[in-house]
Amino acid sequence: MRTTLRLFALLLLLGTAGWWVAAGKNPGWTKNKVAIEKKDEITEIVFIEYEDRFVPGVDILAAAVAGAVVLAGLSFLGRRKVAAS
Amino acid sequence: MKTTLLLTCVILPFAATAAEQTFDFKDPKGVNTARFTLDAPLETISGNANGVSGTLTIDPAKPEATKGSIVIDAKTLNVENAMMKEHMLGAEWLDVAKNPTITFTVMSLEDFNMSGQAAPAPGAPKGSSMDSVTATANVKGKFSLKGVEKEIAVPATVTLLKGKLGARTGGKMQGDLMVIRTEFTIKRADYGINPKAPTDKVSDDIVINLAIAGASPK
């Protein structure tokens, strides 16, 4: 049980960190829209269009760290069985 | 003689206003954009609004007499996070339900300076007018945000693109385009935008960057 909890904690931490890195290491809050810059050819005005895309931010990373700490902490709560001598 | 006088009375007012041009900034293409940035030590918040409308009437012979206003639909303000957007539009921050527009009303233009004139496009007939004229000016006006109105002066670059409306509308309309670019800073606290919010997280300085095009059909 202890090993399972610790394994889950490690998987949660590494999985979320990997996802955050793969999604572009967004240093801000989680985004559900991404600004795309475009340029109008005639006026040369650079304008923004939003694309629906989920980009995890540091808030999700922090939640994963907290979750992993809780899981790892739980693994220390149970009483260790002492082998009969 | 009577006829001449009568004709003069009728024609003169039109001649006087003939040089005036009114540009409508409601852009069906949605290109007109107002961007904002709040760069605090702990967090940078940026977004934009594309609900731009309003008109400006300019007389090239008397640019200082330019009149009109630019209006931004506050509900079109956007950021990349849905919850942040909800907070931004809410009562504590911009309260767009009670203050649905952000307005800049032009009072006067100062230091008008023709900074450059582009040559006619290649292949244009000889003697044709300049394709574009660029000028800079200091625009004085009333800026209204969240129910607070303040007089401010902003530096602006104005480019007149003669005859370019046709190219932009695929030939459906003919006329001129005017592009205005400006960047200025306002204080969040001056407009009562959640003045209690800590400035290390949400900057008190709001940098506003406006790039808009207006059309004057002929």
Would you list the domain boundaries of chain B?
Answer: 7-217
pTM of the model: 0.78
Question: Looking at the partner chain, which of A33, A42, A47 has a beta carbon nearest the beta carbon of B80?
Answer: A33
Tokens in use for A32? 């559900």
Is A68 a domain residue? yes
Is A23 a domain residue? yes
Structural domain for A37, as ranges: 2-74
Under an 8 A CB cutoff, do B80 and A48 touch?
Answer: no
Under an 8 A CB cutoff, do B81 and A35 touch?
Answer: no
Under an 8 A CB cutoff, do A32 and B43 touch?
Answer: no
How far apart CA A63 and CA A16 sit, in angstroms, is 9
Is A53 a domain residue? yes
Convert the pLDDT of each residue in B173-209 to its tens digit.
Answer: 899 999 999 999 999 999 999 999 999 999 999 999 9
CA distance A56 to chain B (A): 11
Mean pLDDT, residues A71-77: 89
Of B175, B131, B184, B130, residue with least CA distance to B157: B184
Is A80 a domain residue? no
Question: Looking at the partner chain, which of A42, A47, A50 has a beta carbon nearest the beta carbon of B168?
Answer: A42
Tokens in use for B48? 């934009």
Name which residue leads in pLDDT, B65 or B154: B154
Fold of B7-217: Lipocalin (2.40.128)
Question: Looking at the partner chain, which of A29, A43, A48 has a beta carbon nearest the beta carbon of B177?
Answer: A43
pLDDT at B112: 87
pLDDT at B115: 64
Under an 8 A CB cutoff, do B212 and A45 touch?
Answer: yes
Q: Which residues, numbered 40 to 59 in chain B, qualify as contacts with chain A under a Cβ-Cβ cut-off of 8 Å?
A: 43-44, 48, 50
Give the A:B interface size as CB pairs under 8 Å. Answer: 57
Burial tier of B20 (Cβ tally within 10 Å: 0-12, 13-18, 19+): middle
Closest chain B CA to residue A45 = B211
As for how many domains chain A has, the answer is: 1
The confidence band for B11, taking pLDDT boundaries of 50, 70 and 90, is very low
pLDDT at B157: 94
Within 8 A of A47 by CB-CB distance, chain B residues are: 30-33, 48, 50, 211
Q: Which residues contact A71 (CB under 8 A, 6 or more apart)?
A: A5, A6, A8, A9, A12
The confidence band for B218, taking pLDDT boundaries of 50, 70 and 90, is confident
pLDDT at B116: 56
% of residues, chain B, pLDDT over 90: 67
CB B24 within 8 A of CB B55: yes
Convert the pLDDT of each residue in B58-85 to its tens digit.
Answer: 987 888 889 999 999 999 999 999 999 9
Closest chain B CA to residue A31 = B81
Question: Looking at the partner chain, which of B35, B44, B179 has a beta carbon nearest the beta carbon of A43?
Answer: B179
